[in-house]
Amino acid sequence: MTHKLGEHIGDWIAFPTPGRVEVRTGKVEIGQGVREALTRIAAEELDIDPAQIDLISGDTARTPDEGYTAGSMSISGGGVAVRQATSAARALFEAAGRGEGRPDYWALSDSMDLDRPVADFARPKSPAAYVLTGTGGGGRALNAQVKGAAFIHDLEMPGLLHARMVRPPWLGAEVKRMGEASAGARVIRDGSFIGVVCEREADAVAAGERLALTTLWSKAPGAGDPLDIIDRSNEPAPLDDAPISVTASRGFIAHASIAPSCAVAMWDQGRLTVWTHTQGVFPLARSLAAMLSLDADAVRVIHAPGAGCYGHNGADDAAADAAMLAMATPGRPVRVQWTRAQELTSSPMGAAMRTTVSASLGADGRIATMHTGVVSFTHVRRPGVGGVNLLAGWLRAGGAVDPVITGPMPAASGGDAERNATPGYDIAETSIWRTIVQHPLARTSALRSLGAHVNVTALEGAMDASAALTGEDPVVYRLRHLSDPRARAVIERVAAMAGGCAPGSGRGIGYARYKNVAAYCAVIVETELAETLRVTRAWAVVDAGCAVDPDGVENQIEGGIIQALSWTLKEAVNFADGAPSGAGWSDYPILRLDETPQIVVEILQHLDQPPLGVGEAACGPTAAAVCNALAALTGVRTADLPLTRERLARALG
């Protein structure tokens, strides 16, 4: 009988050699620390040393299909799945073994049939028995990365060819005149899809640069600045009688990973194998098969770690580039790596958006109504979501850009543009209105926290503005609107740690429960205003339910704070002729190490509760805290992000 990979214990676990355990997961390491947490969970349920576990992750030929590693669900979804499966394995072995304590897996494994349903045997430990869950630091986590090869970029295989891409300056540009690459370079072209392939990497770099310089493209159609579309959108005006109206907005945000996207592909005897740092090996495999008109089982996609991934970046596109090039070089693996400029301008971007929250107060000073309007570019354009959505498929001859999905994502997955637009506070009357705008040259998709970055900023701005109007302390005012004890606890604790955030203190608070169902997070920041706005200190409290790897949770919150500060203070993609532009980091500054605030994070641990996704939880609250601090410091409320020197000067007059 066939079953879906993942239903049976043997899909998740094997005992190949004495002392070793192979655990397979469809979730992948994207810098979020999932390997550490999943290893710990499996070791806990099997009562073995984490060092005995070999974690196999993200391989369409070997691991269960767990969709995308996204939405802060690596642990709340993938971790729970591993816990179920490994506990089921242990229960099976216990039933077969004799005596007390941990069964001898390796002695029994030959005679054991693991082809049994997880659901029939799963018996996770009681949290009271946890030894590895919720303790310790991340001692193993970075060992390989600081010593040598560790990334997809470092893969070596016999006969490896090196490639670089030449990109059109705007989506839809056509080649007017093909340029020249250097001698010895092979140019592979299909419509506007152009790559150069060489035996040596340095030669591919030089050939790619030369070809890019000498190729002429058609002129951009002058489609106008995409941000104007948001400004022109006919969002309903805030209610006339609403005393509070707060708007937050941002431009397009680049993923801006420190490594350029990279992939390796091999086309051999009708079979395609692709190594990639995608977030979803299975969806990517299906999209590649569709794009290349191959049978689904002719495509194998294997995950290899890239640099930090914060959403739908260039990884899938690079994989498609490598696949197209590999099909032109049968029998030889091809490694493609993007340039920094390509990484910053031809990856999907985080969506520009604008959110307005209008609120009215009741006689008791509490918020009685809150209406939220969101205008945004799409946040959902992943491969397989509404189309193939791979750049190579759009660029090649006869290729067409897949349509944008404008309908909302199911509320169960947290929504997209309207993520966290629903207030987490007890408010009698709320409504949300959302519209998705489009521009042919602005390609956007999922970036960490989706709409929550801007929505929480607007909503928490409205909370602060309401508190100010009633003359109340912003912490006390929030607590008046919260009955959920876990929400109250994170706010009370962060206020205690920071010593409050009274008006005039240069401090501001932001709070949200991510997606309204995942981790609770409250952040207070302290700011100084000189020529620019500088954040000097940050305090954060998070309730992630059962925090399996607390140091990993802290790391995610700290990283989320720094990244959100960077978005909020500095980041917006530049446009020229309506298309994303920029040659390198000097065109897209991010927060540097000499701009680091002091950060203190505390976790409210609940070992007996389900784990709650934490990777994106700090983004909205951090941005909100910064804007609220600015208002506390200057009396001016602006959340027209990023809060660069020029914009501050304009807002502060």
Partner 1 sequence: MSIGLTVNGVACLVDADPGQPLVYALRNELDLKGVRFGCGDGDCGACAVLIDAEDRQACQMTLAEAEGKSVTTVEGLVGPDGAPGRVQQALIERRAGQCGYCLSGIVMRLEAMLRRGERDRAKIIEGLAANLCRCGAHARILRAVDDLLATP
* CB nearer to partner 1: pick between 399 and 550: 550
Q: Does 558 bind partner 1 (CB under 8 A)?
A: yes
Burial of 504 (0-12, 13-18, 19+ CB in 10 A): exposed
∠ CA 37-42-44, rounded to 5°: 95
Cα torsion at 531, 536, 541, 547 (round to 10°)? 110
Rounded to a whole number of angstroms, the minimum distance from the CB of residue 566 to partner 1 is 7
Contact between 308 and ligand FES per CB under 6 A: yes
Residue 138 sits in the site that holds ligand FES (CB under 6 A): no
Which position among 214, 431, 470, 598 is part of the footprint of partner 1 (CB under 8 A)? 598
| β-sheet bridge partners, residue 23 | 13, 55
Amino acid occupying residue 106: W
The site for partner 1, by CB under 8 A, has a size of 65
Helix (H, G, I), strand (E, B) or coil at 504: coil
C-alpha distances out from residue 265 to 291, 298, 346, 384, Å: 15, 13, 20, 20
Sole binder of partner 1 in the list 72, 337, 358, 628 (CB under 8 A): 337
Of residues 113-142, those binding partner 1 (CB under 8 A): 137-139, 141-142
Q: Which is nearer to partner 1, 123 or 140 (CB)?
A: 140
Q: Are 57 and 28 in contact (CB under 8 A)?
A: yes
560 binds partner 1 (CB under 8 A): yes
The nearer residue to partner 1, 168 or 306, going by C-beta atoms, is: 306
Minimal distance in Å, beta carbon 258 to ligand FES? 4
Q: Give the per-residue contact string, 345-384, with partner 1 (x = CB under 8 A; - = no).
A: ----------------------------------------
Part in contact with partner 1 (CB under 8 A); list of ranges 294-302, 306-314, 320-328, 539-547: 306-314
Cβ-based nearer residue to partner 1, 11 or 554: 554
**528 binds partner 1 per the rule CB under 8 A:** no
Contact between 531 and partner 1 per CB under 8 A: no
Chain-centre distance for alpha carbon 547 = 19
Distance CA 623, CA 449 (A): 12
Q: Provide the minimum distance between the beta carbon of 496 and ligand FES in the complex, in angstroms, as a whole number.
A: 31
Tell the smallest beta-carbon distance from residue 511 to ligand FES (Å).
27
258-277 mask for ligand FES (x: CB under 6 A)? x-------------------
Count of residues that bind ligand FES according to CB under 6 A: 4
Query: Tokens standing for 329?
Result: 């070089």
Q: Which of 77, 76, 89, 99 is nearest to 124 (CA)?
A: 89
Indicate which single residue of 99, 101, 148, 407 sits in contact with partner 1 (rule: CB under 8 A).
148
Q: Which of 19, 102, 585, 652 binds partner 1 (CB under 8 A)?
A: 585
What minimum distance in Å lies between the beta carbon of 26 and ligand FES? 23
Cα torsion through 170, 172, 173, 177, rounded to 10:
140
Q: Is 144 in the site for ligand FES (CB under 6 A)?
A: no
Cβ neighbours of residue 441 under 8 Å, at least 6 residues apart?
170, 171, 172, 220, 223, 226, 578, 579, 580
Q: How far apart are CA 322 and CA 104, in angstroms?
A: 45
241 near partner 1, rule: CB under 8 A: no
Residues within window 26-45 making contact with partner 1, judged by CB under 8 A: 30-33
- Given partner 1, ligand FES, none, residue 236, with its beta carbon under 5 to 8 Å by kind, binds none
Q: Which is nearer to ligand FES, 31 or 461 (CB)?
A: 31
183 binds partner 1 (CB under 8 A): no
The distance of closest approach from Cβ of residue 579 to ligand FES in the complex, given in angstroms and rounded to an integer, is: 24
In DSSP terms, 303 is beta-bridged to 276
State yes or no: residue 428 binds ligand FES (CB under 6 A): no
In this complex, which beta carbon is closest to partner 1, that of residue 31 or of residue 415?
31
Please state the φ and ψ torsions of residue 487, each to the nearest 5 degrees: -65, -45
Cα–Cα distance for residue pair 383/390, rounded to 1 Å: 6
Task: Mark residues 13-52: x for contact with ligand FES by CB under 6 A, - for none.
Answer: ------------------x---------------------
DSSP 178: -
Query: What letter does residue 97 receive in the DSSP assignment?
Result: S
Q: Tokens 């005596």 identify what position?
A: 99
The answer to the question of residue 560 lying near ligand FES (CB under 6 A) is: no
Nearest-approach distance from CB 141 to ligand FES, in angstroms:
11
CA distance to 10, 601, 607, per residue, from 98 (Å): 22, 46, 31
Among 445, 555, 568, 638, which residue interacts with partner 1 (rule: CB under 8 A)? 555
- The CB-of-588 to partner 1 minimum distance in angstroms stands at 10
Q: Tally Cβ neighbours within 10 Å of residue 180.
A: 13
Which residue, 350, 383, 364, is CA-closest to 642? 350
Give 214's contacts (C-beta < 8 A, 6+ positions apart).
Answer: 179, 180
Given ligand FES, partner 1, none, residue 392, with its beta carbon under 5 to 8 Å by kind, binds: none
Contact 202, 208 (CB under 8 A): no
For the bound state, the minimum distance from the C-beta of residue 303 to partner 1, rounded and expressed in Å, comes to 14
Pair of tokens at residue 193: 């899809």
Which 8-state DSSP code applies to residue 644? -
Residue, CB closest to ligand FES? 308
**Using an 8 Å Cβ cutoff, are 172 and 220 in contact?**
no
Three-state secondary structure string covering 351-368: CCEEEEEEEEECCCCCEE
Indicate which of partner 1, ligand FES, none lies near residue 93 (CB less than 5 to 8 Å, by partner kind). Answer: none
Number of residues that make up the chain: 653
Neighbours of 127 (CB within 10 A): 13
Helices (H) and strands (E) in the chain, counts: 17, 24
Element spanning 603, H or E: strand 598-603
Contact range with partner 1 by CB under 8 A, out of 74-82, 373-381, 393-401, 584-592: 584-592
Site string for partner 1, 193-232 (x = CB under 8 A): -------xxxx-x---------------------------
Which residues contribute to the site for ligand FES (CB under 6 A)? Answer: 31, 258, 307-308
Which residues contribute to the site for partner 1 (CB under 8 A)? Answer: 30-33, 137-139, 141-151, 153-154, 156, 200-203, 205, 256-260, 305-310, 337, 339-340, 551-552, 555-556, 558-563, 566, 583-586, 590-599
